[in-house]
Structure 1
Amino acid sequence: MLEKFKSFLSIGPVFSYFFRVFRKDTDGKYPHSFNLKMMHGINKISILMFLVCLVIMVVRCATR
């Protein structure tokens, strides 16, 4: 039961996606299509915007 719960809360695949979306797929392990490329492009933009906003919030909080 505890192992099932630990595997349910595992965030390893999420972090591996964040790093995978920013590098080229050279081994052909994942499918290639126009829709998938656009989705990854939009995800890159949203991840970068989130990180920029996070930095802005931390700076604002630290300077108060």
Structure 2
Amino acid sequence: MKGMFDFSEVATYFFRKKDPNRRSNFNLRTMHTINKISILMFLAAMVYFVIKHI
């Protein structure tokens, strides 16, 4: 049950430092941007539903 509510991976996804040894291309940057937007939208929807039901 403890592993189900571990949000450390999600929280650290937004604050990672860029690896200088890894090449970055447009497709990779776009994928990470879309992932960040979708995570934020999901969290906003969860907050909305919690507030709506309270």
Shorter-chain TM-score: which interval? Answer: 0.5 to 0.7
What's the CA shift for 1:56? Answer: 0.3
TM-score (norm 2): 0.66
**Deviation string, structure 1 residues 23-53 (Cα, Å, up to 9, x no partner):** 341x425441110000000011100000100
**1:7 aligned partner:** none
Measure the CA separation in 1 of the matches of 2:51 and 2:36.
23
The whole-number CA distance in structure 2 between the counterparts of 1:15 and 1:32 is 24
Q: How far apart, in 2, do the equivalents of 1:28 and 1:36 lie?
A: 15
> d(CA) in 2 for partners of 1:53 and 1:42?
16
Q: Identity of paired residues, percent?
A: 42
Partner of 2:20: 28
In structure 2, runs of 5+ residues without a counterpart are none
Higher relative contact order (CA closer than 8 Å, sequence separation 6+): 2
Instruction: Provide the C-alpha distance between the structure 2 equivalents of 1:53 and 1:47, rounded to a whole number of angstroms.
Output: 10
CA RMSD in angstroms comes to: 2.6
Q: Structure 1, unaligned stretches of length 5 or more?
A: 1-9
What TM-score do you get using the length of structure 1 for normalisation?
A: 0.58
Find the structure with the greater CA-based Rg. Answer: 1
